[in-house]
Chain A
Amino acid sequence: MRENFAHTGRLVRFMLRRERIVSTIWIVSIVLFSVALAPGMAGLFDADARQQFAEVYNNPVMVGMLGPIYGADNYTAGAMYGGMMLLWISLTAAIMNVFIVARHTRADEERWRAEVVRSLPVGRLANINAAMILALILNFILAVTLGLGVFAAQVESMDFISCMLYGMVTGAVGLVFAAITAVFCQLSSNTGSAMGLSFLSLGVCYMLRAAGDASMMNTSNDGVNKSNEFLSYISPLGLAQRSKVFVENDFVPLIFLIITAILISLLAFKLNSVRDLGQGFIPARPGRKTALPAMLSPFGFSFRLLSTMILVWVIVMFSLGASYGSVIGDVPGFVSESPEYLMLMGVSEEMAEHASDEVKAEMIVDGFGTFVTSMMTLIAMIPLLMAALKLRSEEKEGRAENILSRSVSKTKYLCCFTTIAFALSAIMQLATLLGLYYVTDAVTSANGVSNPFVLEKVFKASMAYLPALWIIIGFAVLLVGFFPKATGVIWGFYGFICFTTLVGGMGILPNWLEKISPMAHIPIIRVTDLAHLQSDEVSILSLAVMSGIALLLTTIGFIGYSRRDLLTH
């Protein structure tokens, strides 16, 4: 038995060495992001504002998105921070773990690197054992630095024990998903689908807890408990939130998370021990002996390379839109009295006073709709960038040479991927709005009320974001053309855009800095038929200028690409 694990320690050290840059970046970014927001959130709201925020927040839509509200009676800065942050930080930690475990198990096997290691006197289970120990170490480091970092921010109501619990729960969620990924890496013989299944299960866990948390709100109306909160307990993300950090500091969920991680890891070990190296449990079917004619042109082929990614993202965007739409049906059931929230949505105090409950509900829906549209635009940027950078990754893998050594010019091949990226910008926005609009439609008509959204307006609002999407594509093409070794910079720019959009208007960042983001120049268009709410004036000129910038960046990228050598290894 023991010899199955021989030399695990050496492998762990080797893996840590391979991880020294990537994981450091992950952990430092997560901790910095979390720590940076702690004093901000405390400073932005005083006790009254927090209390009002808690009331506004206490509705199925927000609870579905962010999780249940704990400590609402005395909503401290800590309670607010825990409620807003834990879900997203632990979700990010989960994503980090999917990458780590896939990289050191299935990816190594698929590339036959694991074979070389296995030929050495190391145990049969040493590799998976080392990968899990690696995940344990990295999550522990994350947990401790996160806890200490947040504690160092010295926010009142966030004491040492609660900060450490916050870090530990995050690390524990990470560990659970490390174990889940390890299982999928045994089941599937290919890294891509193992990671896809892991991310899918992460999405399912988010949805489970969204459904569970939102259903908790049902009890208040008629006194009958219709809650399905058990759904949240099944999901590691929901379970993590049940530790009620900074409020009650319950350690029991943490223990359950760790036990879950151990049990799932054991399953992965078992599966690993009964299979052959390089094999999976999901059988590989024989593929096509000849190609479909559709993939035999440069454009058709580049589309074929991206087709799975596109399909997955269309589904993701549609279902995210749909999940937001599905909670909107509950909105008319509750009306917030908070003028602050309405003001946040662009309703003046005077208007709010005179508005009927119905109008207020609609205002909330409208604010929510515009918010969703801008958030979804940020998410849509990910598949666009993946498409725009695909040719660079083909080049890195030495596969672009296969096409370019045949009668396809570099400009033409780059044009194929760029065209797809530009087309995707509209497709992703459409997928979101169809999900949002039609699911809202279905839910509201089931409740016997009318759909608050106006299709034409939702369409306009989401399409107004296109020039911003085009600019980021243009920037990516520019990098591919002129700075092929630095294409990773685009993800930094993307992070910057997300950050400025999220905290934009809060006065945290200087105005000029916010203006660098293309998102800051997009007019807000109202999505419901409310006369009270003014849409920003749509300046065709500014949208045209932005499109022009996007075109310019793209063109410069093309010139650079056609002039430079293909980088081979």
Chain B
Amino acid sequence: MFMLETQNLTKKFGKFTALDKVNLQLREGEVFGFIGPNGAGKTTTIRVLLGILQATEGKATVFGKDAWKDAVEIHKRVAYVPGDVNLWPNLTGGEVIDLFVSLRQKSNKEKRQKLIKSFELDPSKKCRTYSKGNRQKVALVAAFASDADLYILDEPTSGLDPLMEQIFQECVAEIKAAGKSIFLSSHILQEVERLCDRVGIIREGRVVETGTLNELRHLTSIFMNVITEKPIENLAGVKGVHEIEEKHGELSFRVDSDDIGNVVSHISKFGITKLESMPPTLEELFMRHYGA
């Protein structure tokens, strides 16, 4: 059983198709990165999974239960951090955290205090005075202070400074170590690269790629820098080699993942003195799907 699963999930708002046959799975204990540009459908997917929106077609299940019908049952074991945290201007951060935690279970005072301290949040201030980052902290403290099985985080670090982002990553590592599952939507790719086991890329309502980072890298090319004793002959003729450039006797080019073996055996004939290979960053993967 998956912690969370969608099967051909489709959501339409009138004529506009926000999600088009989305298929996703999150296994137990896994951190899944859900990446895509603004407006691609990340938040809509999450809202369907939370039973806030009803799927037009297809299935969305969490813990094997129907996301719409069994919403309340599901939410008992889910912690959620929205991307756009809207709070009540006349309540304090402390009051809101207590409310959020208590609507799921008994509060864990110790954990709450510890988190408020490490996120450097002043809980006695009214929410109207909080900046975006501070409102985000309220939602993060409430989520991490509750003992859930599944954490759904929608761009959780937007508005946080790098120090706080560090704290966030530590919190994620902690719950991951405790065997919890995390569904992390983000467009900060370094964050996803660092934290996630598997990644799904969504674009214009369609999931264009899912897999482990290694699997995804496999689909694309790696970058090589080579210096050889003798000039390499007929490099452009080798299958899978692209974008050859020469600078101060150093060749740089891209190689399709499947053709690395051939390419290496071809260039080794010319006496390698330097060989660097760099796997593509997630950014490059992402740009390949989304960019030009």
Contacts and interface: CB of A to CB of B under 8 A. Distances in A.
Interface in A288-306: 288-292, 295-298, 301, 304-305
A326 B176 CA distance: 69
Given A290-B94, A290-B95, A398-B84, A406 B100 contact: yes
Interface string B26-60: 00000000000000000000010011111000000
A121 interface: no
A288 B91 CA distance: 9
Contacts of A284: 126, 129
A568 interface: yes
Nearest to B88: A399
Contacts of A55: none
B104 interface: yes
Interface string A542-569: 0000000000000000000001111010
A298 to B, nearest CB: 7
A235 interface: no
Nearest to B82: A401
Nearest to A412: B72
B71 A409 contact: yes
Interface residues of B, number: 38
B62 to A, nearest CB: 12
Given A286-B124, A290-B94, A301-B99, A407 B82 contact: no
Contacts of B73: 407
B119 to A, nearest CB: 14
Nearest to A406: B103
- Listed from nearest, the 7 A-B pairs whose CB atoms lie closest are A291-B98, A287-B92, A398-B86, A406-B103, A296-B102, A291-B95, A286-B124
Contact of A110 (B104, B125, B128): B128
Interface string B53-90: 11000000000000000011101101010101011111
Nearest to B11: A565
A402 interface: yes
B86 A399 contact: yes
Contacts of B102: 291, 296-297
A398 B80 CA distance: 14
Contacts of A295: 95, 99
A110 B89 CA distance: 10
Given A286-B124, A401-B82, A565-B53, 19 more contacts: A190-B90, A190-B128, A284-B126, A287-B91, A288-B92, A290-B95, A298-B103, A404-B50, A404-B52, A405-B50, A405-B75, A406-B80, A406-B100, A407-B103, A409-B71, A412-B72, A565-B52, A565-B54, A566-B47
A408 interface: yes
A421 B129 CA distance: 30
A403 interface: yes
Contacts of B76: 407
A399 B99 CA distance: 13
A292 B71 CA distance: 27
Contacts of B100: 402, 406
Contacts of A529: none
A192 interface: yes
A412 B73 CA distance: 13
B280 interface: no
Given A296-B102, A565-B52, A405 B82 contact: yes
Nearest to B46: A405
B98 A296 contact: yes
Contacts of A289: 92, 94, 123-124
Nearest to B81: A405
Given A295-B99, A401-B82, A566-B52, A288 B124 contact: yes
18 contacts: A286-B124, A287-B94, A287-B126, A289-B123, A289-B124, A290-B95, A290-B123, A291-B96, A291-B99, A397-B86, A402-B82, A405-B52, A407-B73, A407-B103, A407-B104, A408-B103, A409-B72, A566-B47
A289 B50 CA distance: 29
Nearest to B53: A565
Contact of A402 (B47, B86, B94): B86
Nearest to B47: A568
Contacts of A401: 47, 52, 82, 86
A287 B95 contact: yes
A568 B123 CA distance: 27
A297 B100 CA distance: 10
Size band of the interface chain A makes with B: 35 or more
Interface in B103-119: 103-104
Interface string A89-117: 00000000000000000000010000000
Contacts of A301: 99
Given A296-B99, A407-B104, A565-B54, A287 B125 contact: yes
A401 B75 CA distance: 12
Nearest to A300: B99
A215 to B, nearest CB: 40
A6 to B, nearest CB: 28
A566 B53 contact: yes
Contacts of A291: 94-99, 102
A397 B84 CA distance: 11
Contact of A406 (B75, B94, B126): B75
A152 to B, nearest CB: 44
Given A286-B125, A288-B124, A409-B72, A192 B52 contact: no
Interface string A404-447: 11111100100000000000000000000000000000000000
B94 A288 contact: yes
B34 to A, nearest CB: 17
A566 B88 CA distance: 18
Contacts of B82: 401-402, 405
Nearest to A292: B95
B98 A405 contact: no
A399 B82 CA distance: 11
Interface string B243-266: 000000000000000000000000
A192 B94 CA distance: 21
Contacts of A110: 89, 128
B157 to A, nearest CB: 19
B82 to A, nearest CB: 6
A63 B257 CA distance: 92
A295 B126 CA distance: 16
Nearest to A397: B86
A403 B73 CA distance: 14
Nearest to B78: A405
Contacts of B91: 287, 304
A291 to B, nearest CB: 4
A217 B252 CA distance: 101
Contacts of B54: 563-565
Contact of A290 (B47, B72, B98, B126): B98
A399 B123 CA distance: 19
Nearest to B129: A284
Interface in B11-35: none
A133 B52 CA distance: 44
Interface string A67-89: 00000000000000000000000
Contacts of B129: 284
Nearest to B85: A402
Nearest to B126: A287
